Structure 1
Amino acid sequence: MGPAHALAFLVGLLSAVHCLGMCTGVVGALSYSLPATMRQRPRRLVTMVLAFNLGRIGSYTLAGALWGSLGVILLLTGAHPWFFGTMRWVAAMIMVGIGLHVAGWFPRFALIERVGGPLWARLEPLGRRLLPVRTLPRAMLLGMIWGWLPCGLVYSMLLSTPVHTGILASALYMGCFGAGTLPTLAAAGVFAGRLYRVGQDRRFQAVAGVGVILLALMTLLFEI
């Protein structure tokens, strides 16, 4: 673990507003897909929500490994260093756009999330077949499908993974990012969307958005 992985974790923490805005509906649907007897037992509900999120983070980690393998292939084929530098700048600029979007100053940035639309159109029906969720393995599998939901923030993090060459390092990078999002989305799952109002607070949006922008600039300043 190095500075890049700590940064990925911080980005995940500060992406709370984006996560609440994009995933609250999904989290609520997952929670309400559980039998009423599970929802009424706090310990059981927390366990299932954690299973959903572990599956989601597992998908982020897998995506990081797959994308990181591209960096290894490019190195083996003699890619020039400028390519990785360009990727780092592109990832940072996308992250700045996300910060502006989170702060409410650049709503059109959400259009970038349409890139993953075709893949999600194929995966979403598979998720429906897993409902209602009654077991932990089923919850984790549904969470793994949820992990491929189109998200500009995830895309920007993925773009930076080839910079940290190595499949394991890239997988860990995305895993750290996913771990940073865990507190917000786990809480949203347990409270079944009641945190949505917090995410709509303009002051909270602005602070979180500026935080993401500062972290994006740090990736360029310290070349991590």
Structure 2
Amino acid sequence: MLLSAFIFGLVSSLHCIGMCGPIAMMLPVDRNNPAKKVIQILLYHSGRLTAYASLGLVFGILGKGLYLAGLQQQMSIIAGILMIAIVLIPEKILARYNFSKPVYRIISKVKSSLGQQFKKKSYKALFTIGLLNGFLPCGLVYAALFGAIAMQNETLGVVYMVLYGLGTIPMMSMVVYFSNWISLPIRNKIGKVIPYVAVCIGMLFILRGLGLGIPYISPGNMSLFVRGEAHCG
């Protein structure tokens, strides 16, 4: 299941080109020093990974609470359904029910701070841009967080989201280097792959929760995921 996080991140990055691509294109990196530019881009990604890891920790703890409540199988099924729903429901409908409204003021401050960081060219600013970028609202990040909840463990929740973030790095880095090559028609074409992959990953979580006795995919026992701690009877 952890491998699915990296694959989901890799495919999600096709969507990121349209949403976060402009941020990557405007990064205050040194265009004349290739070595320095690589370090600056890595700092930006490190910031994003830190944000994803923080979210993974919070949602992993939530998942652990649900696990202790004996809801591990139901949780996996619900997580799979929600992951599928997010990519299949038209964005126009989701826009009517903006889940970010309760924290709108916080998001506004994040966007404002993000804009201020672009005026700077320090290494700290690049890390901060990535950090703030990682906390911006994104439907596919929300879908990944459902996977983090289903990990039922704070450590695995962090690992899941870090792997998701690592999957987004190749394409997001290409945006910085080949921004002119990745045109809107190309983004639209490759973006059509996202729903298919998200549905497949969502189905894996659903099968996992059903406990059909299929090795590695849908084990029949209640210990659906590798646990970080021992449980003694």
Category of TM-score, reference length = shorter chain: 0.7 to 0.9
Task: Give 1:167 deviation, angstroms.
Answer: 1.3
Cα pair 2:76 2:208 within 8 Å, conserved: no
- Correspondences of 1:176-187 after superposition (within 5 Å): 176-187=163-174
Find the aligned partners of 2:109 and 2:41 in 1 and give their Cα distance: 24
Point out the structure with max Rg over C-alpha.
Answer: 2
Task: Give 1:112 deviation, angstroms.
Answer: 8.0
Query: How many residues align structurally?
Result: 206
Provide closer, same or farther for how the CA distance between residues 215 and 114 of structure 1 changes in structure 2, counting only shifts above 3 A.
Answer: same
Q: Under a length normalisation based on structure 1, what TM-score does the superposition of the two structures give?
A: 0.80
Q: Which residue of 2 aligns with 1:53?
A: 45
SS where residue 165 of structure 1 aligns? coil
Structure 2 counterpart of 1:95, from 83, 91, 108: 83
1:15 aligned onto 2:12 = yes
Give the counterpart letter for 1:58 in structure 2: T
1:175 aligned onto 2:162 = yes
- Correspondences of 1:1-224 after superposition (within 5 Å): 4-29=1-26, 31=27, 33-34=28-29, 38-75=30-67, 79-81=69-71, 84-100=72-88, 106-108=90-92, 111=95, 114-116=98-100, 118=104, 119-192=106-179, 194-197=181-184, 198-201=186-189, 204-223=190-209
Which consecutive unaligned segments of at least 5 residues does structure 1 have? none
Provide closer, same or farther for how the CA distance between residues 187 and 158 of structure 1 changes in structure 2, counting only shifts above 3 A.
Answer: same
Identity of aligned residues (%): 23
The one-character-per-residue Cα deviations of 1:78-137 (angstroms, maximum 9, x if unpaired) are 5232xx444433332332234447xxxx34365289323513212111222323232222
Cα pair 2:78 2:206 within 8 Å, conserved: no
Q: CA RMSD in A?
A: 2.4
Q: Under a length normalisation based on structure 2, what TM-score does the superposition of the two structures give?
A: 0.77
Cα pair 1:113 1:152 within 8 Å, conserved: no
Give the counterpart letter for 1:111 in structure 2: A
Greater share of helix residues, 1 or 2? 1
Cα pair 2:52 2:134 within 8 Å, conserved: yes
